[in-house]
Amino acid sequence: MPDFVSLKDKYDSQGMYEKIVEFPSQFKEGWEIGKAAELPDVDPRTIKNIVVCGLGGSAIGGDLVRTYLAYQLGMPMYICRHYKVPEYVSQFSLCIISSYSGNTEETLSAYDDAKSRGALILAITSNGKLKEKALADGYKVIEIPPGFPPRAALGYSFVPMLTALSRMGFCKDVNPDVEAAISFMQESVENFTFGNKDNIAMTSAQKMHGKFPLIYGGQDFVDAVAVRFKGQICENAKQLSFFNFFPEFNHNELVGWGDMEPYKDKLYTVILKDKADHDRVSIRMKIVADIIREKGVEALEYESSGPNLLARMFSLIQFGDFTSLYLALLNEVDPTPVKVIDYLKNKLAEV
């Protein structure tokens, strides 16, 4: 086993490990923010669709809310990662504009588009132009603490949004499930920290090292978790990764698992599972895991745990976040900076 403590001391200059360890506390703080926030006065019966506008770490919170509420919401919920909102956005739409920094150019553009269409707007941000514009235009703003990389602020981008939708009457009261999920995460975080000798996140990171991780999950409740896992590997570990979900994966990408002899030593697969997966999807996962192994590629089937769906989803997120952190250390990179994204933003600012 590599000396991860020494690697952390050498490469984790901005404390990403501590941020992941302390995530349950951030989740709880996000819950308190959501419960205390001033929200729009809206009759849910007048709203025909919900659109969340955001990118990257600010969008994944919306994706997870969409996934969690997949079978509760009585209307479509769409995550808009673009400069424009969909054409159907109107005065009958609730647009949640999520930008951690408040300065994401695509999100600010989407805000202007949503405003021009007369949508009801709720902003979630720590500061920046979004806060300034929304307050000036008379919209409600949920203010979240600054100072985190957006991907390390998931507790602030996810829980206030979920709590707000619950308080506005779009779904059931989520408070009991949130409280139980926080308690579960506080207990389970020790499974993934340095002191645990049976740390599956460390083991998985070692197996992913030098390979392309492929993250697969079920459509019902885990698709957004797979997106998060992939994104954390890319941003924290600076390592390319890919994701897909069942059953769609079985109708195209599976065929790509043909002659794997030239590639089998460069791939590692994680199949994220949940007890609420569709029965037929669970069967598909088992068959596909066997197919992958027959091709000479290791496939880890990792099942969620926890007292409710929310806790189970975030048990998978804890696993993915810690795995990406340990993979960063094995890659001898600092998990926090994302220099290529900063470079891209600077170049765009010149145009």
Residue 183: its pLDDT value, please?
98
Average pLDDT on 124-146 reads 98
Quick one: pLDDT band at residue 22, thresholds 50, 70, 90? very high
DSSP secondary structure, 43-84, as one string = -GGG--EEEEE--THHHHHHHHHHHHTTTT-SS-EEEE-SSS
Question: Which stretches of 98-199 are DSSP H helices?
Answer: 105-116, 128-136, 154-167, 175-188
Residue 197: its pLDDT value, please?
84
Residue 164: its pLDDT value, please?
98
When mean pLDDT is compared across 2-16, 258-272, 293-307, 337-351, the lowest value belongs to: 337-351
Examine the pLDDT at 149 and tell me if it is beyond 90.
yes
Rounded Cα distance between 203 and 185, Å, is: 20
Question: Residue 246 is inside which H or E element, if any?
Answer: strand 242-246
Beta bridge pairs of residue 124: 98, 142
254-312 pLDDT, tens per residue? 999 999 999 999 999 999 999 999 999 999 999 999 999 999 999 999 999 999 999 99
Residue 53: its pLDDT value, please?
98
For domain 4-8+189-330, give the fold: Rossmann fold (3.40.50)
Q: In a 3-state reduction of DSSP, which class is residue 97?
A: strand
Examine the pLDDT at 1 and tell me if it is beyond 90.
no
Residue 103: its pLDDT value, please?
96
Average pLDDT on 119-140 reads 98
Residue 216: its pLDDT value, please?
98
Domain pair 4-8+189-330 / 37-173, same fold: yes
Sign of CA dihedral 35, 38, 43, 49: negative
Average pLDDT on 150-174 reads 97
**Residue 228 token pair:** 């998060």
**Residue 32 token pair:** 């308190």
Examine the pLDDT at 195 and tell me if it is beyond 90.
no
Chain centre distance of CA 130: 21
Examine the pLDDT at 233 and tell me if it is beyond 90.
yes
Q: Among residues of the chain, what percentage have pLDDT more than 70?
A: 100
Residue 158: its pLDDT value, please?
98
Rounded Cα distance between 251 and 185, Å, is: 35
65-85 pLDDT, tens per residue? 999 999 999 999 999 999 999
Q: Write the CA distances from 348 to 86, 127, 158, 234, 344, integer angstroms.
A: 24, 21, 28, 21, 6
Quick one: pLDDT band at residue 128, thresholds 50, 70, 90? very high
Domain boundaries, the chain: 4-8+189-330, 37-173
Mean residue pLDDT across the chain? 97
Residue 210: its pLDDT value, please?
97
54-67 pLDDT, tens per residue? 999 999 999 999 99
Q: Write the CA distances from 271 to 52, 121, 244, 265, 286, integer angstroms.
A: 27, 37, 10, 18, 9
Active site residues: 235, 251, 345
Q: Among residues of the chain, what percentage have pLDDT more than 90?
A: 97
Sign of CA dihedral 307, 310, 313, 317: negative
318-333 pLDDT, tens per residue? 999 999 999 999 999 9
Judge: domain 37-173, CATH 3.40.640.10.
no
Cis status, amide bond into 44, omega within 30 of 0: no
Examine the pLDDT at 6 and tell me if it is beyond 90.
yes
Q: Write the CA distances from 45 to 74, 252, 283, 332, integer angstroms.
A: 10, 39, 38, 52
